[in-house]
Amino acid sequence: MLRWIRQQLGFDPPHQSDTRTVYIANRFPQHGHYIPQRFADNRIISSKYTIWNFVPKNLFEQFRRIANFYFLIIFLVQLMIDTPTSPVTSGLPLFFVITVTAIKQGYEDWLRHKADNEVNGAPVFVVRSGSLVQTRSKNIRVGDIVRVAKDETFPADLVLLSSDRAEGTCHITTASLDGETNLKTHYAVPETAVCQSVSRLEALQAVVECQQPEADLYRFVGRITVTQQGEEIVRPLGPENLLLRGARLKNTKEIFGVAVYTGMESKMALNYKCKSQKRSAVEKSMNTFLIIYLGILLFEAILSTILKYAWQAEQKWDEPFYNQKTEQEKNSSKILKFISDFLAFLVLYNFIIPISLYVTVEMQKFLGSFFIGWDLDLYHEETDQKAQVNTSDLNEELGQVEYVFTDKTGTLTENEMQFRECSINGIKYQEINGKLVPEGMTEDSPDGSVSHVNREESLFLKAVSLCHTVQISYDQTDGFGDMPFSHANGFSPQMEYYASSPDEKALVEATKRMGVTFMGNNGETMDIKTFGKSEKYKLLHVLEFDANRRRMSVILQTPSGETVLFTKGAESAILPYAKSGEIDKTRLHVDEFALKGLRTLVVAWRRFSVDEYREVDRRLHEARTALQQREERLAEVFSFIERDLELLGATGVEDKLQEKVQETIEALRLAGIKVWVLTGDKHETAVSVSLSCGHFHRTMNILELVQQKSDNECAEQLRRLARRIKEDHVIQHGLVVDGASLSLALREHEKLFMEVCKNCSAVLCCRMAPLQKAKVVRLLKTSLEKPITLAIGDGANDVSMIQEAHVGIGIMGKEGRQAVRNSDYAIARFKFLSKLLLVHGHFYYIRIATLVQYFFYKNVCFITPQFLYQFFCLFSQQTLYDSVYLTLYNICFTSLPILVYSLFEQLVHPHVLQSKPALYRDISKNSMLSFKTFLYWTLLGFCHAFVFFFGSYILMGEDTSLMGNGQILRASRQLMFGNWTFGTLVFTVMVITVTLKLALETHFWTWINHFVTWGSIAFYFVFSLFYGGIIWPFLHTQDMYFVFVQLLSSGSAWFAIIIIVIGCLFPDVIKKVFYRHLQPTNTQKSQMEEDKISVSSEYDTAESRNRGEDNWQLLAASPPPAHGAALSSPSLLKPTGASAVWTPCAASQRGRAAAHGWAGWWSE
């Protein structure tokens, strides 16, 4: 227990060393000095709370919110000192908000607990005491040998020991981890691969040493030491030996693996992303407004306290005859009395801070986010994917975007590769009908078809078909390991290639069409069929692709026994290391391919002598078995191997643009949004695609910042570009930057670089590393203007950019789901971005901006009369409203109309917003929550509050006389009216006015708006009648008894209500009409155009209806034609016309019978 407490406090971390030692089957050393390492159990915990800590933890989290904490302080003050209002008035709304939020969070956490219990309780088989034992997943310990059967998911991170195949391989899919659906091959080391039975596994003596848990799914460094006949054999372990929790076993009957990472230490659990809290501009504005209103509250409380003591300076007001002070009051400290009075006024005015604002905003965001998922325009039918909302906190931020940063491959393009051209030994070739034809020749040319290829062409095709990590899947499930060889004779109609990269799949499929077919890879040999002849290559080593090297290689032993290296990669990663071959011609061809928008790869090879390969093998083994700095050592060895290359050629693969990309980019540009394309592709390819997708225009002046070698050179080029932008009288400029130049620009010349970028309409960054993408986003995000940024991408390399931007959007593409999992929103295609921003973003922003302003407005209306009333009651802290009204004003009487408004309001029809992207500019720069707008709503609230108070005072004063005891005496009927009557009148006027004010702001009316608007007013009247009309036994005092009934029985009260409501809202109507006609915004112009179209269409419908009725009257006056007769002009009467005008015709008794006759004739 003490150790657990120390671990929780951070004094005793569970992992003391950089590595962990796992004894397979938990056979620990027998000597007494060994102390077992402590590892986590296999329980997955995604829940936040337990039954014991839910209440304290949830309360702590909720009271971290400044508004909740503020109301808690007010509630405690009401409990401690004598305040004018009951503690219930603050406590009940606070309790309501806290309870609703706690129930929501508790329910969500209960669902997480339920899901955790299902996972942790799943049955698994473990090897213990020489037999297979069934247990629960949560009982697996590090070191246990686990058996997993076909189509089951791995219950922990396992190092593969053996499978049902002799070579110890298995196939898995990691779709639930990174979305990649292709089959991946994993391997067991040869010494454990033979242990295919429980008895042999029980006799296995082996130890795994590996790094401590880390979140990177694709990194694993370890080694296994197997003891056989007293000899220790050490083998390296890498990602290809590790089976990750959550992945699924495919095309393999069963495997055995040893658990190395369990529970919350598994890589899947470490990738549970705690999203960084992104805060929207609206939320920041809301917090600023809260601070301003807090200042207003403090000012009113201090002013009231000072005026109270100024008033009481006169003896007659300090201690009037009806309120003599006690001895304790006379002797009490004046400072404490001043503080007590100040706190009492603070409590009296505290409702100016709207506590229900937070809960309403949360509900609006949560419920409003469903509209994105329900929008059929954002649904992609081909892939059956709808838009997805991962966080609803940023809905309104979609309406404020100023910069869009987009990836190219898979985002602007389909990521569906098609082989188009290649260059072999300095000669360009095209694929025509599955044949490789030299450029300038046709398929029918005598020398066009490559049926008998020369040595260079054959070697190139073999290199492309062997240098990859493609897997093959067959429909048959058993004996998959032998499939490639049993199907070597060509009978493999079900064979399908799977690759993690679409480029690799396109290239292997292309070589297959050209006669060199990849038949399979069993981990030791690779089989290809070259023009019908089978060849086996022994696979010695795979040098995996990485983003820094930008190439991958395989080392093979050819059928003739020669050891060769095949490598492919970006031209910048291959050409500098090539020493022979047609280097200049190939470079020229690569540039030509890139100008056509093709993705290029360069292919090369190298032969090894026996001594050279021995040295390579030794170095690779040392680097791969190193536990420390393995990546750095491998990088050194790879550089040593991949040099002195002989160039074979290059490939050009086309990635076609997605549908409507050009229209989407143009719409964003018209909306005032600047689009930056950040891609890893080479310069020429990226520029070509930018031109084809409309990111760059043909008339645009393209500026370049590429191939800069030093800081000084980069700075000088930036200055030249800045001068050129000022001197050139071109409307639009485009900028192209490469990764190396960008690094120099960001290092010393950020300000100059930003100045150039901001003057460009479009920016293209090519040859970008993932972290560089994030740096560019951060640079814009933190610039002086602090623009709102959006990043959109589909691959794992876009995750850092997506997380850095204010709004991150993932594309559900073919490069896995990492981008989607780490994004705020996910869509299936780039074209959906225009509706997401221009329509949903527009609506969300307008709705929540109005919600925030309206909340502050109605609370100013609510509490200002309370402040004014103190001038009429000698600042005695007498409350104007009954405590029940104080409590229910924000919770019941005025809450639903604004919530419904914030869910359904549409200032303009969605089609208009999409067809006129410039309307997006009307709401940019947080214009609806500017200080000017905030001031307008606040002053409007104060004005309305003054009209409520003094209007009621003046209008009721005409019919009443104020008596000395503070009661109002009705002269005519001698009914007693006190301050509760006056306060109720003010409150009634206020509820009606603030509700109707929202009705004036509503443009899009639904039946729900009507129901909650008029229903809220009706509910207030019904509630007040019941509350004041019945003596409730559980109430200690009932000041409001019969007050509301008496108030409504007064004609002057009704007159006052109507006059005051009209007096408040009429100037607002005049202002709206005035501004709408003299200074309309673009949005208001669109509304008027929409209204005209609507009226015009209604008029046309009515006209056609009248014409139809007239035609039927004419028909009724004439007899129907004889059977079989034909009309002279068939167009006069059509089936649609007959059915459409039947209803108006039926209203005419005179024409009904004749109409039936005509209709019957028509049907015949």
Active-site residue list: 407
> Are residues 952 and 1056 in contact, defined by beta-carbon separation less than 8 angstroms?
yes
Q: How many CB atoms lie within 10 A of CB 460?
A: 26
Q: Give the CA angle between residues 348, 351, 355 to the nearest 5°.
A: 145
Q: How many CB atoms lie within 10 A of CB 912?
A: 18
Which of 716, 695, 705, 780 has the alpha carbon at shortest distance from 743?
Answer: 705
Q: Which candidate, 99, 77, 75, places its Cα nearest to that of 89?
A: 75
Tokens coding 184: 């991946």
Instruction: Give the separation between CA 902 and CA 361, rounded to whole angstroms.
Output: 9
3-state secondary structure of 973: coil
State the Cα–Cα distance between residues 328 and 315, nearest whole angstrom.
18
Residue 213: phi and psi, rounded to 5, are -55, 140
| φ, ψ for residue 234, nearest 5 deg | -105, 130
Between CA 1142 and CA 1159 the distance in angstroms is: 9
Q: How do strand 674-678 and strand 762-766 relate by DSSP bridges? A: parallel
Q: List, in order, residues 6 or more apart from 170 with CB less than 8 Å away.
A: 160, 163, 185, 186, 243, 249, 252, 255
Q: Name the phi and psi angles at 1054, rounded to 5.
A: -60, -40
CA 57 to chain centre: 27
Task: Give residues with Cβ within 8 angstroms of 743, minimum separation 6.
Answer: 772
Give the amino acid at 263: G
- At 324, the amino acid letter reads Q
In SS3 terms, 735-780 reads as EEEEHHHHHHHHHHCHHHHHHHHHCCCEEEEECCCHHHHHHHHHHH
Residue length of the chain = 1164
With CA atoms as reference, report the closest residue to 594 among 566, 567, 568, 572.
572
Quick one: CA dihedral 668, 670, 674, 680, positive or negative?
A: positive
Place of tokens 């067809």: 915
Residue 751 amino acid letter: K
CA-wise closest residue to 600 among 550, 558, 563, 643:
550
**3 state SS of 431:** strand
Residue 762's DSSP bridge partners are 675, 734
- 907, two tokens: 């200032």
Helix/strand/coil (H, E, C) string of 779-801?
HHHCCCCCCCEEEEECCHHHHHH
How far CA 1028 is from CA of 285, 987, 1018, in Å, comes to: 40, 14, 15
For the chain, give me the number of helices (H) and strands (E)? 43, 38
